[in-house]
A and B are shown apart, each in its own frame.
Chain A
Amino acid sequence: MEWFLIAILVIAVIIVIWAIAAYNGLVRLRNLVQEAWRQIDVELQRRHDLIPNLVETVKGYAKHERETLEAVTQARTIAAAPGSSPAEQAQQENILTQALGRLFAVAEAYPDLKANQNFMQLQQELTNTEDRIAAGRRFYNANVRTLNTRIETFPTMLIANMFGFHREEYFETEDAARQAPNVQF
């Protein structure tokens, strides 16, 4: 009888230790996801800060492209507004990326603008920022994947449900961005 009680006690202690380790692991992962999101946010903010300078530079050469410039400014304002979830932010950033793409396409028609040192530097900075955003998105999605897998697999899901851990959203591109552009000559 005594051995039986000791065995039950040992099993109980093991279960408690495992539960604590599982809970702490989930907390670490959730914090990692939040930190990864903040890092993306820093890069997104950097992109938002570059855009006004870009718009002013382009305006000096392409005064008649008002519609394109306004689209960029409006998309930037929406994307820079706080309080969006990762999925919403991803959608807003995709719209901004498309507007910037149209702006650079328009700039192709203005050789003086393309040769402008400030414009070239801004273009390079934006490209670098886009690379860093892409890297940040990969890292964020990797952490979300790990967290979501832990939350959904047994037996960690028991601890996750007990303490209110939930799936996080991925930072995804829009379906339109996945389609190859239809180029006609």
Chain B
Amino acid sequence: MRRMTTEGAVRTAAAVVAALGVVLFVAGVLPGPVAFVLGAALALGLAAYEGAVAWRHRDEAARFALSHGWEHLPRTAAYSTRFEGYPFDRGGRAYQTDVLRGSYGGARCATFTHVVAQESVDSRGKTSETRQTYQVTLAELDVDLPRVDIVPESLAGRVAQAFGGVDIEVESHAFNERWRVIAKDVRYGHDVVDPRMIARLLEHDVEGLSIRIDGGAVMVWSVGREGVRTLARRLNVVTGIARRIPAHVVREYTDRGHGVADPDAPLTGPAWATTPGVLTSGRYTGVGVDADGDGVEDWAQAPPEDTAGTLGSDGPAR
């Protein structure tokens, strides 16, 4: 069982105090105005604490990026539509904060806090927003593999299986007791969870984590924020799993055309397609066009004086 973080303990304590206050108020022990003031103070205190936690988290991330040569993005929505399933399908407004991107163990990795903000309107028409945060850490793959979820086995999972829920059972009883494997293609799920993967997933550092292979990445996610103190552990898990995906599975899906292009690779193609600014230069008149017959394609000509500085112009080529 995972140890509760300090933030989790504070939130739990606040929830207990709030529940106690409600009970005392309902029981008539706590007068209404006093309960209201105490409740407002608790809410303000918790909001201030959350703000301080978020600021500290951002500061840690920025310092980590600076000292390790990683990229730090305070906020983005780039990952909101890339992945399926919980917690990316919660609805509402989703974005990522404190995104750290870099290289670890030979793989391109990233970690970020995924925030889902949901608005609700109460009976008096007042709008309020609740936010749920999840810490996601991922390792990029060179191939886009179908989704497979490997989640800790639970009572709810066993009940679901009794009523037809999916759980791919492998040859290790210890693994089957500890993990539930969910994949639409049972054969594919079985291929991914091979003996090497089973051995890795029986180690202690993956306890309590939910793992997913999807969208060209291996990811682990958990509720709440996790700082850079636990980043090495999470990165070890995702890169370890990525390395253990069987070679024949990678090859099969690469051959099917699911290979992921290296974003750092130089662009390939004709010069007119890979030279920046060609299409907005005002000189583009078509592929291979050489209207004046001087042996140089029109787009590569020096800009004509009468169209200089005009964007998107379709003026005649010289």
A131 touches B190 (CB 8 A): no
CA distance A128 to B255 in the complex (A): 13
- How far apart are the CA atoms of A139 and B189 in the complex, in Å? 10
Chain A positions within 8 Å of B251 at CB level? 128
With a CB–CB cut-off of 8 A, which chain A residues contact B249? 135
- How near does chain A come to B190, taking the closest CB pair, in angstroms? 5
B191 touches A139 (CB 8 A): yes
User: Is there contact, CB below 8 Å, between A135 and B171?
Assistant: no
Asked if A20 CB lies within 8 Å of chain B CBs, one says no
Interface: A138 (CB within 8 A): yes
Count B-side interface residues using an 8 Å CB cutoff: 13
Whole-angstrom distance between the alpha carbons of A141 and B172 in the complex?
13
Q: Are A131 and B169 in contact (CB under 8 A)?
A: no
B187 touches A138 (CB 8 A): no
Most buried by A among B169, B190, B249: B190
The answer for the CA separation of A145 and B170 in the assembled complex, in Å, is 10
Assess whether B169 is in contact with A39, with CB atoms less than 8 Å apart.
no
Assess the A135–B194 pair: CB atoms within 8 A.
Answer: yes
Q: Which residues of B in the span 225-253 have a Cβ within 8 Å of any Cβ on A?
A: 246-249, 251-252
- Given A128-B251, A146-B169, A139-B190 contact (CB < 8 Å): yes
Residues of B within 8 A of A141 (CB): 171
- Using Cβ atoms and an 8 Å threshold, which residues of chain B touch A132? 248, 252
Query: Which listed residue (A36, A135, A145) contacts B248, Cβ 8 A?
Result: A135
- Interface size of A by CB at 8 A reads 12
Quick check: A135 and B247 within 8 Å, CB to CB? no
By a CB distance below 8 angstroms, the chain A residues around B191 are 135, 139
A12 at the interface (CB under 8 A from B): no
Closest B residue to A39 by CB, please name it: B187
Taking a contact as CB atoms under 8 Å apart, the answer to whether A139 and B194 are in contact is no
| Given A139-B190, A139-B191, A131 contacting B248 (CB threshold 8 A) | yes
Inter-chain contacts of A131 with B (CB < 8 A): 246-248
CA distance A39 to B248 in the complex (A): 15
Interface of A is mostly: helix
List residues of chain A with CB within 8 A of the CB of B187: 36, 39, 139
A142 contacts chain B at the CB level, 8 A cutoff: yes
Q: What total count of A-B pairs have CB within 8 Å?
A: 29
Q: Within the assembled complex, what's the spacing in Å between the Cα atoms of A17 and B170?
A: 29
Binary contact track A120-155/B, C-beta < 8 Å → 1, others 0: 000000001001100100110110011000000000
Nearest neighbor of A146 in chain B, beta-carbon distance: B169
- Does A128 lie within 8 Å of B248, measured CB to CB? yes
- CB pair A142–B190 under 8 Å, yes or no, is yes
Beta-carbon contact of B169 and A142 below 8 Å: yes
Complex formed: what's the CA distance from A141 to B251 in Å?
23
Q: When chains A and B are docked, how far (Å) is the Cα of A148 from the Cα of B252?
A: 31
Instruction: Decide if A138 touches B194 in the complex (CB within 8 Å).
Output: yes
What's the nearest-Cβ distance from chain A to residue B181, in Å?
Answer: 12
- B190 in contact with A135 (CB, 8 Å): yes
Task: Establish whether residues A142 and B171, one from each chain, have CB atoms under 8 Å apart when the complex forms.
Answer: yes
Q: Considering only CB atoms, which chain B residue lies closest to A131 in the complex?
A: B248
B contact residues around A146 at 8 Å (CB): 169
Taking the closest CB of chain B, its distance from the CB of A126, in whole angstroms, is: 12
B-chain residues with CB within 8 Å of residue A142 when the two chains form the complex? 169-171, 190
* Least distance between A132 CB and chain B CB atoms (Å): 5
Q: Which residues of A contact B194 (CB under 8 A)?
A: 135, 138
What's the Cα separation between A138 and B190 when bound, in Å?
Answer: 8
B247: which A residues are within 8 A, CB to CB?
128, 131
Say whether B171 contacts A138, CB under 8 Å: yes
**B-chain residues with CB within 8 Å of residue A139 when the two chains form the complex:** 187, 190-191
Q: Which of chain A's residues have a CB closer than 8 A to the CB of B248?
A: 128, 131-132, 135
- Cβ–Cβ < 8 Å partners of B246 in chain A: 131, 135
Query: Could you list which residues of chain B lie within 8 angstroms of chain A, going by C-beta atoms?
Result: 169-171, 187, 190-191, 194, 246-249, 251-252
Q: Provide a sorted-by-A list of 14 A–B residue pairs whose CB atoms are within 8 angstroms.
A: A128-B248, A131-B246, A131-B248, A135-B190, A135-B191, A135-B194, A135-B246, A135-B249, A138-B190, A139-B187, A139-B190, A141-B171, A142-B171, A146-B169
Instruction: For the A-B complex with A132-B248, A139-B190 known, give 18 more contacts whose Cβ atoms are closer than 8 Å.
Output: A39-B187, A128-B247, A128-B248, A128-B251, A131-B246, A132-B252, A135-B191, A135-B194, A135-B246, A135-B248, A135-B249, A138-B171, A139-B187, A142-B169, A142-B170, A142-B190, A145-B171, A146-B169
